[in-house]
Amino acid sequence: MNRILSLLSLFTLLLIVTASCQQSEPQPAQKEWAIALHGGAGTISQDLPDSVKARYYAGLEEALRVGELVLRDGGTALDAVENVVNTLEDNPLFNAGRGAVFTAEGRHELDAAIMDGSTLAAGAVTGLTTVKNPVSLARIVMQESRHIFFSGVGAEEYADQTSVERVDNDYFHTQNRYEQWQRSQEQASAESTPMTMEKWIEDSKFGTVGAVALDSEGRLAAATSTGGMTNKQFGRVGDVPIIGSGTFANHVAAVSATGWGEQIMRNVSANTIANHMEFTGSSLEEAMNFVVTERLNPGDAGFIGVDSLGNISMQMNTAGMFRASLDADGNRTVMIWQDE
258 known member of a binding site = yes
**Is residue 5 assigned to a domain?**
no
Range 255-293 burial, b when 16+ CB lie within 10 A, else e: bbbbbbbebbbebbbbbbbbbbbeeeeebbbebbbbbbe
40 known member of a binding site = no
Tell me which of 133-147, 158-172, 173-187, 276-290 is least confident: 173-187
pLDDT, position 43: 76
238 known member of a binding site = yes
Q: Which residue has the higher pLDDT, 338 or 6?
A: 338
197 pLDDT tier (thresholds 50, 70, 90): very low
**Is residue 6 assigned to a domain?**
no
Flag whether pLDDT at 337 surpasses 80.
Answer: yes
Strand 149-151 relative to strand 121-128, pairing? parallel
Flag whether pLDDT at 198 surpasses 90.
Answer: no
**Is residue 14 assigned to a domain?**
no
**Is residue 19 assigned to a domain?**
no
Measure Cα distances from 159 to 126, 156, 167, 213, 226 in Å. 12, 5, 12, 26, 17
Instruction: Give the domain CATH number at 201.
Output: 3.60.20.30
Range 124-149 burial, b when 16+ CB lie within 10 A, else e: bbbbbbbbbbbbbbbbbbbeeeeebb
Once rounded to an integer, what is the mean pLDDT over residues 88-113?
91
Coil, helix or strand at residue 191: coil
Flag whether pLDDT at 27 surpasses 70.
Answer: no
Flag whether pLDDT at 248 surpasses 70.
Answer: yes
**Is residue 114 assigned to a domain?**
yes
260 known member of a binding site = yes
**Is residue 13 assigned to a domain?**
no
Flag whether pLDDT at 40 surpasses 80.
Answer: yes
Flag whether pLDDT at 99 surpasses 60.
Answer: yes
Query: 165-196, pLDDT tens digit by residue?
Result: 999 999 998 887 767 767 877 766 665 445 44
**Is residue 8 assigned to a domain?**
no
Tell me which of 13-17, 41-45, 130-134, 247-251 is least confident: 13-17
What positions carry a catalytic annotation? 208
pLDDT, position 204: 47
What pTM value is reported for the model? 0.88
207 pLDDT tier (thresholds 50, 70, 90): confident
Distance CA 133, CA 209 (A): 12
Burial of residue 104 (number of CB atoms within 10 Å: 0-12, 13-18, 19+) = middle
Distance CA 84, CA 278 (A): 27
- Domain containing 90: what range? 34-337
pLDDT, position 26: 61
239 known member of a binding site = yes
**Is residue 87 assigned to a domain?**
yes
Count how many domains the chain has. Answer: 1
Count CA within 13 A, CB hemisphere, residue 338.
14
